[in-house]
Amino acid sequence: MASPHTVKVLGTTRVTPASDSPISATEFSLPLTFFDTLWFKFHPVERIFFYQLNVSNPEYFHSIILPKLKRSLSLTLLHYLPLAGNLRWPSNSPKPIVTYSPNDGVLVKVAESNSNFSLLSGNEIHKALELHSLVPQLMMTDNIAPIIALQITLFPSQGFCVGITAHHAILDGRSTTMFVKSWAYLCKQGNTENSSLPPELTPFYDRSVIKDPSGLDLLYLKQWLAFTSSDSDPNRRSLIIEQNIRDVPDDLVRATFDLSREHIKSLREKVLSKLDKAKPLHLSSFVLTFAYVSTCLIKARGGESDRTVNFGFAADARSRLNPPIPENYFGNCVLGPLASAKAGNFMDENGFATAAELASDMVKELEMNGILEQAEKKLTQFFDVIMETGKQVISVSGSPRFGVYGADFGWGKPRKVVIVSIDRGGAISLAESRDGSALIEIGLALNKHEMKTFASLFLDGLRDL
């Protein structure tokens, strides 16, 4: 008997940069910086953009939607040649390099799903596994790895979605979003004669703006090889990434929660009423959201009060470097602080205020000491965190500043944007509100029991403000 929820693959095609442009006939290469090698073997980031349509029958999808998406993707790749290329590691090169050659392209899978579109693109609790068939895998070998893969899935009479899997060694969240918004921009324009992009969507590739006098790029690469290679061959130069860091259990569920401006204001007032007013605090919307969600997660997990909880988040370094680099810089440019504390510090009535103070200190340390402070130790610290068993890790994926809901391909803004890969890494996903009814959208993947407890703590806490 067939599964009640199935995704049928209709075909796979390779979309190349538009051949009617001389740009597609040029070769292009891009070296990796230390910001890239820091994420060299981190699992790929998977996102889904859901679009609800009034007309979404197969005929309309295959005759209108799909051709427009493919043609505009082809035009977009003229600006984003690295995405059409591959990551390679030549035998004469100390580190991998991104190369594009004519006829390279992006694999695009086309599929059809009979799943409940409204449920998967809504805020309600649903099985996490149902999303995984909507994003493609990067087909890697030891010697070559694609940069992105795409999947376009039709939900008959409901809408469609675009799933993107991005290699983390090449793209951070800002760069990935810039590409998707560029693709959407050209698709919505519908003008095949002029494929120019506005300045804010035009990628900046100059790697000379990233200074690395300490050789962090090779240091991080060496640390990754030591961490991922076997004892028999500790220096094996393989590009393969384990895309499933952990199996997604059947009882893992997802849900989305919102915080409004009024909630943020009330949370700030609550923190100030609990802590020493003489100590200056950085109580941004991010700090308050991170602290409040972290407190609810720690309480939902329960367990012994003396267990360790690790906290971490990545900060965009573009504006924090000296001198700052352009906002449209293409590649990774994120680094961030890590901290740890005992769970019991966050379990009493002052737990949220304590978490806010911790998050505030992490941000202030970043601002005071600079984003590159102790950069040599960052990857080692990260390995220490993920290798320790029994510890709760709370991290962040995405940002409300990316503007993901601005990705309008011509059929309206997304109904929902989901970061699927938090299922594997255990992160919180953050985005701006779709319609302005809230300030921040929070995505979580937890087991059923923890999700039920978290939801109760989260909503009850807001009612008590």
Q: Is there a domain that residue 1 lies in?
A: no
Q: What is the pLDDT of residue 230?
A: 67
* CA dist 439 → 263, 315, 337, 445 (Å): 9, 19, 24, 20
Q: Is there a domain that residue 268 lies in?
A: yes
Confidence of residue 1 (pLDDT cuts 50, 70, 90): very low
Q: Is there a domain that residue 2 lies in?
A: no
**Which of the pair, 277 or 95, is modelled with greater confidence?**
95
Which residues, other chains included, contact 278 with Cβ-Cβ below 8 Å and sequence gap of 6+? none
Q: Which domain covers residue 146, as residue numbers?
A: 7-228
125-156 residue pLDDT tens: 999 999 999 999 999 999 999 999 999 999 99
**Which of the pair, 452 or 424, is modelled with greater confidence?**
452
Please tell me whether residues 219 and 308 are part of one structural domain: no
Confidence of residue 219 (pLDDT cuts 50, 70, 90): very high
Confidence of residue 108 (pLDDT cuts 50, 70, 90): very high
Q: Is there a domain that residue 239 lies in?
A: no
Weakest mean pLDDT among 94-103, 201-210, 340-349, 435-444: 435-444
Please tell me whether residues 187 and 261 are part of one structural domain: no
Q: What is the pLDDT of residue 244?
A: 52
Mean pLDDT computed over 32-47: 96
**Which of the pair, 3 or 167, is modelled with greater confidence?**
167
Confidence of residue 4 (pLDDT cuts 50, 70, 90): low
Q: What is the pLDDT of residue 438?
A: 85
Q: What is the pLDDT of residue 374?
A: 83
Please tell me whether residues 189 and 312 are part of one structural domain: no
Please tell me whether residues 204 and 284 are part of one structural domain: no
Mean pLDDT computed over 420-427: 85
Confidence of residue 276 (pLDDT cuts 50, 70, 90): confident
79-93 residue pLDDT tens: 999 999 999 999 899
Confidence of residue 245 (pLDDT cuts 50, 70, 90): very low
Q: What is the pLDDT of residue 137?
A: 94
Please tell me whether residues 282 and 427 are part of one structural domain: yes
Weakest mean pLDDT among 251-255, 267-271, 388-392: 388-392
Q: Contact 148/190 with Cβ under 8 angstroms? A: no
Which residues, other chains included, contact 389 with Cβ-Cβ below 8 Å and sequence gap of 6+? none
The greatest distance separating any two alpha carbons of the chain, rounded to the nearest whole angstrom, comes to 66
> Does the pLDDT value for residue 2 go beyond 70?
no
Q: Is there a domain that residue 373 lies in?
A: yes
Distance from chain centroid for Cα 295: 22
Mean pLDDT computed over 97-122: 97
* CA dist 357 → 4, 268, 288, 364, 432 (Å): 47, 11, 9, 10, 24
Q: Tokens standing for 382?
A: 């990260």
Query: Does the global pTM surpass 0.75?
Result: yes
Please tell me whether residues 14 and 97 are part of one structural domain: yes
Mean pLDDT computed over 311-337: 95
Q: Is there a domain that residue 246 lies in?
A: no
Euclidean distance between CA atoms 172 and 42, whole angstroms: 11
Domain boundary among 228, 260, 292: 228
- Catalytic residue IDs: 168, 408
Q: What is the pLDDT of residue 194?
A: 73
Q: Is there a domain that residue 241 lies in?
A: no
Handedness of CA 333, 166, 450, 115 (dihedral sign): positive
Please tell me whether residues 192 and 277 are part of one structural domain: no
Task: Kindly write down the DSSP assignment for every residue of 406-421, as one continuous string.
Answer: G---SS-S-SEEEETT
- List the beta strands (DSSP E) in 81-236: 86-88, 97-100, 106-113, 126-127, 144-146, 148-155, 159-166
Q: Is there a domain that residue 341 lies in?
A: yes
Domain count, the chain: 2
CATH number, domain with residue 131: 3.30.559.10
Please tell me whether residues 199 and 277 are part of one structural domain: no
> Does the pLDDT value for residue 234 go beyond 90?
no
Confidence of residue 242 (pLDDT cuts 50, 70, 90): confident
284-298 residue pLDDT tens: 999 999 999 999 999
* CA dist 410 → 18, 185, 245, 414 (Å): 20, 8, 36, 10
Please tell me whether residues 80 and 26 are part of one structural domain: yes
Please tell me whether residues 207 and 336 are part of one structural domain: no
Q: Any idea what DSSP says for residue 439?
A: S
Please tell me whether residues 297 and 360 are part of one structural domain: yes
355-380 residue pLDDT tens: 999 999 999 988 877 788 888 988 99
Please tell me whether residues 66 and 120 are part of one structural domain: yes
